[in-house]
Structure 1
Amino acid sequence: MKSRRSKTVPPGNNDKDVAAGDSQHALDWAVSQGAVDRVLSRVAGKLQRRRRRRWGVVAGVAGLVVLWGLFAYRSEPNAPIPAGVQAPAPVIARAPGHQVLPDGTAVDLREGAELRVAFEPAVRRVVLERGEAHFQVQKDPQRPFVVVAHGVEVRAVGTAFAVQIGGGAVDVLVTEGIVSVEKPEQDRSGSAAPFRYARVTAGNRTVVNVSAPPVPTAVVPVGAREMDEALTWRIPLLEFDAAPLSEVVESFNRHSTARLVIADADLRSLELSGILRADKTESLLQLLKKDFGVVVERREHEIVLRRGR
């Protein structure tokens, strides 16, 4: 992440190094879209016209969500921006796929996830076809909320939890409330009730091996750090393109408990470019201190930024 006025370049002075640094965003897009050769040819022409060097700090590429059929959702990589389309805003928040279901339940879809909604009068059922999703369930005691994943049902009333499909298993991580992880009644001939793998409370997880006969599964406590790491994918990426520090600070303040405050007016126009995760406030502060000499003053509930003297 650098100011347009900065002349710092990544290590290396050959043309390959400069090309990679000068169009870091374009190359990241190319890798995700399989269009590296096209972008490199455009970069070469661009370098002949403009020798200004820039570089970006890149944390990854997030997914966007598109509507897929009636009440079905899919998370996909970012689509390319057609030539001639107006450039995006200086600050773009690229969040995981987010949808609000007809009952008010909020769903975050990890990139590549697919979800099908099949609500009925007595039950709010959704089917996770693949990938991972986090559900913040709207309370409705009369209509339980059920996530079906590879034949496993995760049943809740009002709670929050994540379900992940992968490696022949279904992983259930509960962040709020309680869920019951079951095998549906119709899959067990002669059984009057569904088989319960586990009852999982907040701060715990269980993993069901869907290829094995149903047996009770272990409920394992998950520490705060492990929980945060498991759900890191839900944190938006903030992309800056020559954005003034005032807008950068405003974007970070939406996702931080400690409020950033710019004390000196001339700092507000400092331009930054790059991509950072919305929870990486410390990375932003280190950059401002090291590269721009910004003084960081920490108070109880805010962080004050001042021009270095």
Structure 2
Amino acid sequence: MIDQNTTPREIALQEAADWLVRLTDADPQEGDIEAWNAWMEGSAVNAQAFDDIQLLWDAAAEVGVDRVLAARGASGEAATAPGSAGLNGETTGTARAAARRPARRSRGLRWGALAAGVAALAIGVGLFRQPPAGEPLELRMSAGIGAPRHLALPDGSSVDLDAGSELVAQFSRHRRQVELVSGQAYFAVAKDPDRPFEVRADGALAQALGTHFSVARRSDSVRVMVSEGHVQVSDLRSNGKGIQNHVVQLLADQGATLAEGGPLQGPLPVDAPSSLSWLQGNVVYRSESLGNVVADLNRHSRVRIVLHDAQMARLPVTGRWSTADLDIWLESVAQALSLSIVRGPDEILLAPLEGDAQGTKQ
């Protein structure tokens, strides 16, 4: 029974744990999947809670939940043609696969681990390994496809991870270090003059004491943008090719770009609200390369989107779209650039209109 004083976050986590056990340990019926879809779509809190519980479930035991995740959005599959794939990778065949009963494992063990972790997840910190005294605390955090996450850090800072993004963080008495492995993240850094907060991404290093900034790994560059305070960005790469401008100082509404094979550029004026529109579930592009746009799409799509040839990656894209409607986002980009969309079971191909002899134009 849920106490009346329980927060919506705690309620969602408890319900998510119930759903995960129900869908993986029993024979889900069609009505179960439809009810789960309705619960998932009921609120962003529910969807985030399910993703968090899934991570905890995987940590408790090596349990494959691909069938469950593939069922997401199954309520809209009736119109999907056999053999075709939508952006979420769902087909009628996938829904049937989701309903098949997986190999039975130790339900009691996993449920106990879930119950122990729900309270920790409810406060937004999650389950972190406590190291021996004197060793740094290491955290690995990720956001699933189409599922951005907001996470609290042990030092009082917080991070918003965009969909399909991953980072590794280490905290010690003297340093706070983060490596952005993929995607992009927005950091709200708690002030601590004795412990610099450092974010590395490829050859770029962003350092702050207490501020708000984002770091994004693009297909051809690393970008740092400051919305509040001051951030120092350094180019850590070798200077063997004559690269200049190794350090830049950024203030609010300024950014820096470290391009592959090029120098560190900045400070550059930026439109912070537009650059951070992904925090509100939108994307805003101003002459952004199609390669970067497709990379963004792929962090939200369960079916990989590919380009017909490498030269297309340089095409400029301008526009604003909601990440909640991937089909409109993809189709609008294709229409703006006169491209065709060829859908297959394993990938979605973007190609010039004149080369679309075998696919279906959207």
User: Normalising by the residue count of structure 1, what TM-score does the alignment of the two structures yield?
Assistant: 0.47
Higher relative CO (Cα under 8 Å, sequence separation at least 6) belongs to: 1
Structure number with greater Rg is 1
Question: Which is richer in strand?
Answer: 1
Question: Which is richer in helix?
Answer: 2
User: Normalising by the residue count of structure 2, what TM-score does the alignment of the two structures yield?
Assistant: 0.40
